Amino acid sequence: MDRQGKEHIQGILSRQIDAVFFDLDGTLINSSKDIAISANYALEKLGFPKLAEEEIVKHIGYGGENLLRNILPVNNENILKEAVKIFREYYFSNPAIYTKPYELIPEILESLKKQGRKIAVITNKYYDISKEILEKLDIFQYIDLLLGGDSVKNKKPNPEPVLKAMEILNVKTPVIIGDSETDVKSGKDAGIKTVLVEYGFGKVDLARSFNPDFIVKNTKELRELLCE
């Protein structure tokens, strides 16, 4: 993150930005191992070979159904439906065995609350499982609004969840922070500032092609960007 960018957004935060919208997986929390274990459980139950965690991680961020659609070795809607059922049952029973907040995330959230910023989490993951994970990790206390993939008709990259969060929280100039092109596009199409984090699961080159307003490499840079 260049110095000019840092000063620019700190100025925006101080004078204009009234809320921060975070993606969940790959932005606030590292959930890759639990998701990969659950996906492999579904594959194995259906008689398919398991995949390496890094292969599954490539498809995180688009919702469980899309993840399984991308990793299943067959194109069959009935098999996909069964895989989704198995995956969800297992994952909902084991949502945060290995999942942890990224370093500095609790500190960043606490600092934002002290600044008086509204905080929303906008994820394509189901609301109930997202809330349970945030509670288990003791960071739900900082969240003013949680929108899951089932909280809206159209998930990210559609701007609907961003616009809905703005309406519910009654904010006009938020910034959205995420690790993938879905976050950047959702924010851009809603007309708000966007921050791409490169430490998550997203395809960095693809996300960069959507021209995020700011890019950070790690949570230390994210803290410098957001915290006064």
Which residues make Cβ contacts (< 8 Å) with residue 104, sequence separation at least 6?
219, 220, 222, 223
Q: Is 182 helix (H, G, I), strand (E, B) or coil?
A: helix
Options 2, 18, 23, 144, the catalytic residue: 23
Residue labelled with tokens 């990790």: 137
Rounded Cα–Cα distance for residues 178 and 173 (Å): 17
Instruction: Give me the half-sphere count of Cα atoms (radius 13 Å) on the Cβ side of residue 82.
Output: 12
Q: Is 139 helix (H, G, I), strand (E, B) or coil?
A: coil
Residue labelled with tokens 């909902």: 92
Give yes or no: 23 in active site.
yes
Q: Which amino acids are annotated catalytic?
A: 23
